[in-house]
Amino acid sequence: MRVIIVDDENVFRDYIKSMGIWGKGEYKLVGEAKSSREALELLRNTRVDVVLMDVCMPNENGVYLSTQIAHEFPKAAMIAISSYDNYDYVRDILKNGAHDYILKNRLTQENLETALTNIGRDSEHISQEQKKKQDRNTLKSWIENGKRLTLQWERKRKMFLIGNLVNLENMDNSIKEKYIKGILSILEDNEAADKEVVADYFYNGYFVIMICYNDFTTEAELLQQTEISKIRAHNNISRIFHINLEMKVCPQMSSEHALLSYIRHCFHRPEASEEKAGNLTLSLNQRKCLYIALESGNIEIAAAYIEQIYDDINEQEYGKIMMITSELFDILEKACMDVNINLDFIPKNEKLYEYVKKKNKENLVSSIIGLYRNALKEIAEHRVTYSEKVKAAIYFMNNNYEKITGMSEVAEAIGVSGSYLSRIFHLETGKTLINYLNDIRIEKAKSYLLLKKLPLKQVVTLCGFNNYSYFMNVFKEYTGKTPKEYQSGIL
């Protein structure tokens, strides 16, 4: 049971913290606050089971705090503490759902432990299954009817996943119900102290999983943790039920309304009618032709095939456009991996949806061809026959372009002198080391400008330039445009 103390008196907070019940058994003190405002901030960022609160505090008092907790954090239990033996002081807090009221001068470790034990017993009356049922109903109401999520969920960072089990609807009802119950149990078994998981089944084999994170640092870590949860749940379902629940992480949207539209779109994607009109994915012949074009390094042929593929798709067939675009990127990435090139600018998962959404079909085709063109250029450079030392230098620069501060680092990394490397590198490539490194950095900068909404100064840093003015000059020299002109011309 995770408890926080809210009291404006340091002495009383220290008294509570000194009690021997914390950390030794089921009770854990996870935070303290000296005001209602601090308490609410703590609640929004930490999972809390019980709030031990003073009734009389400056500014927003315990009554205000209990009202906010009842509305925002209905699962958190409350114990009111007061210096005054007057029921009027705590009546409103008890109305807001406080479990107990203890006078400060009578508060001991024993009666606090008794109060916490009673809260535990009361919560047992509402089974975990009932709580999950309430949470699932809230999630279902949001997705099906657009009703608001609880404030406790709204204020947390959330990630959504969509799972699909093909042919689930064709099963016998009793078998289907057992599968659904078992799958939901596994999906929600991912819950931990730093996150809350709610999952529910909707229809046509679709499940929705919502993960609310209490603690997070960066968006990258948020996505990483979600991917780990997805893999763990997928493997457990496969191991126990011997079925494949296909799962994907929903993109992070600018608003919950946009996210809701995306989820509903996934449910209602007209797959059956589209399959009758044509395949949702590339044909084997289309794949073969693209691989041949990439192998030969002929961008004109590749571009012609890409244009032809999209010519056969109606602008309104959004689901098909998404899947075809994803496959084209997979083909490009595989071709690059064959020559040890890592394409870190390929949009995936949540980035792919935003990438496609922002473009009409004509702009999308132009953008994809541009990515193929850049990738083919890198592939061609990797296939040129260079000496081992020059290839090692190129490999090192491609993988460390953002960290290199001087050409001596490249020479040192491959075990030769700087003058020797400069001489053979220029002889074999026709470029100086710094010019080749700037080639790499500018291509990366173009990719960031094309695919990601990042401040220009951040792009400069990510690409390894330490000087903003130098970056601007090099970019203009290589592309004939300023970064802003380049970005305006491709979006």
Q: Are both 151 and 290 inside the same structural domain?
A: no
- A 10 A CB-CB count for 308 gives 11
CA Rg value for the chain: 29
Check whether residue 470 and residue 326 sit in a common domain.
yes
Q: Is residue 273 part of a domain?
A: no
State the residue range of the domain holding 35: 2-125
Report the alpha-carbon distance of residue 206 to residue 421 in Å, rounded.
58
Please enumerate in sequence order all residues whose Cβ is within 8 A of that of 228, keeping only pairs 6 or more positions apart, or say none. Answer: none
Asked if 392 contacts 384 with a C-beta cutoff of 8 angstroms, the reply is: no
Q: pLDDT digit string (tens) for 293-318?
A: 777 677 877 888 888 888 878 877 77
Domain's final residue, options 125, 151, 179: 125
Position 161 confidence tier, pLDDT thresholds 50, 70, 90: very high
The pLDDT assigned to 156 comes to: 72
Are 353 and 447 members of one domain?
yes
Tell whether 50 and 170 lie within a shared domain. Answer: no
Q: Are residues 88 and 136 in the same domain?
A: no
Q: Return the exposure string of 451-468: e unless at least 16 CB atoms fall within 10 Å of the residue's CB, then b.
A: beeeebeebbebbbbeee
Please choose, from the candidates 5, 35, 10, the residue with its C-alpha nearest in 3D space to the C-alpha of residue 21: 5
Tell me: do 102 and 145 sit in the same domain.
Answer: no
Query: Which region, left, alpha or beta, applies to residue 458 given φ > 0 means left and ψ of -120 to 50 means alpha?
Result: alpha
Q: What is the pLDDT of residue 490?
A: 47
- Domain presence at residue 190: yes
Whole-angstrom distance, CA of residue 288 vs CA of residue 299: 15
Three-state SS for 161?
Answer: strand
> Given this model, what pLDDT does residue 199 score?
93
Residue range 218-268, pLDDT digits in tens: 777 777 788 888 888 888 888 888 888 888 888 776 667 777 877 887 776
pLDDT score at 251: 78
Q: Is residue 371 part of a domain?
A: yes
Residue 476, domain CATH: 1.10.10.60
Let me know how long the chain is: 491
Res 491 pLDDT > 50: no
Predicted pLDDT at 89: 59
Phi-psi region of 126 (alpha: psi -120 to 50; beta: other; left: phi over 0): beta
Task: Please identify, among 125, 144, 171, the residue that sits at the C-terminal boundary of a domain.
Answer: 125
Whether 474 is in a domain gets the answer yes
Averaged pLDDT for residues 148-177 = 78
Distances (CA, A) of 428 to 265, 425, 479: 53, 5, 24
Q: Does the pLDDT at position 18 exceed 50?
A: yes
Let me know if residue 466 belongs to a domain. yes
Is residue 121 located within the same domain as residue 143?
A: no
* Closest listed residue to residue 392, CA positions, set 380, 402, 377, 382: 382
CATH number at residue 53: 3.40.50.2300
Same domain, 140 and 118: no
Q: In what order do the strands lie in the sheet with 100-103?
A: 28-33, 2-6, 50-54, 77-82, 100-103
Q: Are residues 477 and 344 in the same domain?
A: yes
> What is the per-residue pLDDT for 429?
82
Structure-token pair, residue 39: 């308490």
CATH of the domain at 172: 3.30.70.1130
Q: Is residue 369 part of a domain?
A: yes
Phi and psi angles of residue 387, each rounded to the nearest 5 degrees, phi first: -65, 160
Q: 66-111, pLDDT tens digit by residue? A: 888 887 888 788 998 887 765 565 667 777 777 778 888 888 888 8
Query: In this predicted structure, what is the pLDDT of residue 460?
Result: 92
Same domain (yes/no): 172, 85: no
In a domain, 272, yes or no: no
> How buried is residue 488: exposed, middle or buried, by Cβ count under 10 Å (0-12/13-18/19+)?
exposed
345 and 448 in a common domain: yes
The predicted model scores a pTM of: 0.37
Q: Does residue 140 belong to any structural domain of this protein?
A: yes
Structure tokens at 338: 């064959």
Q: What domain count does the chain have? A: 3
Asked if 165 and 304 sit in the same domain, the reply is: no
Pick the last residue of a domain from 125, 140, 156.
125
Residue 51 has pLDDT above 90, yes or no: yes
- What percent of the chain is modeled with pLDDT above 70? 84
Q: Which of 18-32, 275-289, 447-461 is most confident?
A: 18-32
